[in-house]
Structure formats: C-alpha cells, structure tokens
Structure 1
Amino acid sequence: MSSLLSAKEAFQKLPQKLHNFFIKYPPRPFAQYATEPSNVNDAQLNPFLPNKNPENGRWHGPKYSLRRSADLYKIAYKFGVHELLPPMPQGKKFFEDKYENKNWMRGQLRQKKHKWERELDDKITTRKAAMNAMDETIIKARPSFKKQLEKKKQRERSWY
C-alpha cells in the first residue's frame, strides 16, 4: 500500500508539462504505443508520429512537434522517467545514447573530397582498360586495321 502512495506522490511531483502528458497518454506499462506511423483510429496511436486517416487518405501531423517532444523527453530524463514515454520519431537519440555511438573523427579519418577526386581511381582504371583494348575496338570499326597490326608486329625488334 505504501508503494502505491509513493508512486502517486511521485507522479504529483512531476512538472506540470509531464504530468499533463501522462494524463493524456498513460506511461508505457499501462499502454503500448506504435513505433511507426499508423491509422488515426489505432488504439496504439503514438502522439510523436504523424498518422494517416484511412477514410480520406490524408496524413495528420504529430500531436507533439519534434521540439515539444524533445522538451518532454529532457524533462522526463531529468526525473528518470524517460523510458515511460512513447518511442521517439526517427530514432532520435539524447544525451548518453548520442555520445556513446558518435563517430568522433568522421572528417579526419576519411575526408569527403571533391567529386572528381572520389571518382578519379575508377576513371583511371576504365581508361587503362580502354587503352589496352584499343586495338580490338579499332578492328571492330575498321577491319583493314588488322593488316597494319600484323605488319607492326613483324617490324618490332627484339634483343635476340
């Protein structure tokens, strides 16, 4: 009985924004919320995600904008109840989650370069392959070139 009273007291001590949110949308143990956009009539409607009206096919924006949902999350995080909120849109990360998985040296280890620099290696390899196959390409266009190639091979000098 005392744990029930303490939970009620803890709920009363939450900031007004969070308190009102949990009244409208009960915490996760009492209600499940969709992780992806769903129908407006869905019982698991997530207030942070846009939802589609099946009757007319139009999309309704989220009940709480990204800024308001971020504010709610930050307040909930401060009070340790952030896990009770519905799933955040776009896999949004805050605080420790954000910094634990961050690639700190992204621009230092592998810089983006200009487009011509990124494509240069492929361009050179295709050019070399084309140069090596040039004789066959010319023969396809001009069959008489085959005789010239044979004469050229005969005139080549070797060291022996």
Structure 2
Amino acid sequence: MSLTPKQAFNKLPQRLHNFFIKYPPRPFAQYAEKPTNIQDPNMNPFLPNKNLDSGRWQEAKYSLRRASDLFKMAYKFGIQDLLPPLPQKRFFEDKYENKKWMKGVLKQKQQVWERKLPEKLQARKEALENMDQTIIAARPRYKKQLQKKEQRKNTWF
C-alpha cells in the first residue's frame, strides 16, 4: 500500500506541514542562497534580507534554532533536501566527520624531556657506535689495545 503525495504530506509534523504551506518545497519554488531584498519572490526565509526602501536589514523569518529544528524534523522523514538552503548546514554526521580538531587533541604537548627523548636516545646510540674512535682521539695508545683485543678474539673455526 503506497501513499499518495497528499497523504504523505498530511502525515508530516504540524510545524513542518505549516512551513511547507507557507514556503513550498524546492521543486515548486527556488530560493536564494545569499541574502536578497524583501520584495524578491525567491527570498530565503532562513537568511536576513534587505529592505530597499529604508536600506535596513530585516532579520531572517526563521532563527537558526528554529531552522535547525525544521531541518531535524525534515531529516527524520528524509525530505531535508526540499527545504530552502540553510546558512549553517552542519548537522549530525557532517558535524563530526568534518570537525576541525585542536592541535592539543591531535598531539599532546608533553613535557620537555618527553619531547627531547627520541633525539637523546638516537645521540646515545650513535655515541656508543663511535665510542672507540672517541677514545682513540683522546688517548692514541688505545688503538694498540683494540688491535690486541681483536687478535685474542676466539672464533669457532
């Protein structure tokens, strides 16, 4: 049993129903994506519009809170694309998928010793590898001791 469009429209919540009566869905009417003047037939009810007579800006017919309530109701019924363009479209999954994380959340600052530890360990490793050359530079006689040590080294063959 499929619903006719009129029956489906009547099943919408009252606030959404009244909104679509006052501002028809997108296929029947096109709405401006940027602020326009108040005489424009394509005036968006979610955006502020300019009064050309007085030169003053008129507030949006629907506040951001009321617009988000309408969007959330329409989202439940899968008809959020029929609403006029919203100035702030960050809802639900989009809000969390495209979140800009703070630096401190992505990478903790750490203590100074924690930040310098990898460099310190690398320098220590290189110093241990070059230990013999460092000692030879300080005490040239150490070279003979290394040669004797190399000769005394036991091998299995």
| Alignment partners' CA distance in 1, 2:19 and 2:98 | 30
Residue 74 to residue 106, structure 1, CA distance change in 2 (3 Å)? farther
Q: Give structure 2 stretches of 5+ with no counterpart.
A: 110-157
Normalization by structure 1: what TM-score? 0.62
* 2:89 alignment partner in structure 1: 92
Identity among equivalent positions (%) equals: 69
* 1:108 alignment partner in structure 2: 105
SS of corresponding position for 1:108 = helix
Shift of 1:79: 0.8
SS of corresponding position for 1:45 = coil
| Structure 2 residue identity aligned to 1:39 | N
Normalization by structure 2: what TM-score? 0.63
* 1:20 alignment partner in structure 2: 18
Deviations 1:74-121 (A, max 9, x none): 1000111111000111x3310122122123464333689xxxxxxxxx
| Structure 2 residue identity aligned to 1:44 | N
| Alignment partners' CA distance in 2, 1:20 and 1:55 | 30
Residue 57 to residue 81, structure 1, CA distance change in 2 (3 Å)? same
* 2:74 alignment partner in structure 1: 76
**Aligned residues between the structures:** 109
Q: CA RMSD of the aligned region, Å? A: 2.2
| Structure 2 residue identity aligned to 1:7 | P
| Alignment partners' CA distance in 1, 2:58 and 2:21 | 22
* 1:57 alignment partner in structure 2: 55
Q: Give structure 1 stretches of 5+ with no counterpart.
A: 113-160
Larger radius of gyration: 2
SS of corresponding position for 2:93 = helix
| Structure 2 residue identity aligned to 1:103 | K
